[in-house]
Amino acid sequence: MNPYVRADLTHFIGNLVIAFQPIAKAEDINLSFSQSTKSWFAVFRPDLLTADLALILSKVIEFTPEQERIQVTLAAANKEKCHIIIRNTGINLERNKEITNQCRLPVMVTGTSKETRFVLEIDMYEEPSHASPDTSRISTANYIPAYYKEIRDRLRSHFTKTENLVATLSKSNPREAAFIEKVNALIISNLENNQFDTNFLSEAMNMSRTQLFRRLKPIIRQSPGSYIRTIKLQKAKELFETTDMRISEVAYRTGFETASHFTKVFTKQYGVKPSLFCQKKANATNE
């Protein structure tokens, strides 16, 4: 089977970005896509381009501070080449080789003090020898989102039980384990405080917001804000499993302002509504 296709690169990349936007949003990062033309046909291997862009995007999302931006842009390099540019703000990731060392396509990386540019170069019209481009494989808008379902699920696996994380760190890095334990204790002691956020945590740790991010994110693989929310939701799940509290009570106990907002966040995290946990507990009690 010929691995190359000649297809609309704008459509291909646009759908890829759409697939990653929920992940970026969960990290409080704005991910967007822009292009200079509505349709841009190119010859490329979708398997390589998909794998490399997925790797770069997932890693850049992982290391970019919350409330910053990631923009994917499609731009002409010359008459025969175009560039896919991934630019993040808030941090220079130029020296982070983990982002690109597994890429199979060439990637140019440049950076300034607070941003990075990752550039992939793609042929626009020159077809490889013996190539017979097939656009049917990527002819629908659902191609990329469906392909990335597994990747999205894998990224969500960063939300692990905090005690497992501490136990693992205790063996390999006791200093970081003690740091995480202190962070966890602060979050738990402020569980009902709906104003407790990254700023509150950084002040309590006597660190700047940037210092906290740089210290915490390599350990937990998510932003501090997401980590706070993760612990809250873990506690909520525990309360559903061990008490007869109603949804509104659990929402209050875990620092959510409204039951509706809590339900939305809980469902996104665990894939089921909190009412199902209550129903399951009720059924078990009646048996």
* Run of H or E including 270: helix 259-270
Quick check: 170 and 163 in contact, CB under 8 A?
no
Percent of the chain with pLDDT over 70: 79
CATH 1.10.10.60 intervals, the chain: 162-286
User: Confidence class of residue 191 from pLDDT cuts 50, 70 and 90?
Assistant: very high
Residue 37: Cβ-neighbour burial (10 angstroms; 0-12, 13-18, 19+):
exposed
- CATH class given for the domain over 162-286: mainly alpha
* Run of H or E including 116: strand 115-123
The 10s digit of each residue's pLDDT in 131-189 is 444 444 444 433 434 434 444 444 344 334 566 667 766 777 788 888 888 999 999 99
CATH 3.30.565.10 intervals, the chain: 5-156
189 CA to centre of own chain: 27
User: Residue 255: left if φ>0, alpha if ψ -120 to 50, beta else—which one?
Assistant: left
The 10s digit of each residue's pLDDT in 206-262 is 999 888 888 888 887 778 888 899 899 989 988 888 888 899 999 999 999 899 999
CA-to-CA separations, 144 to 9, 82, 139, 150, 264, in angstroms, rounded: 12, 20, 10, 11, 25
- The confidence score (pLDDT) of residue 139 equals 41
- The confidence score (pLDDT) of residue 284 equals 53
What integer best gives the mean pLDDT of the chain? 79
- Residue length, the chain? 287
Percent of the chain with pLDDT over 90: 30
Domain 5-156 belongs in CATH node 3.40.50.2300: no
User: Confidence class of residue 26 from pLDDT cuts 50, 70 and 90?
Assistant: confident
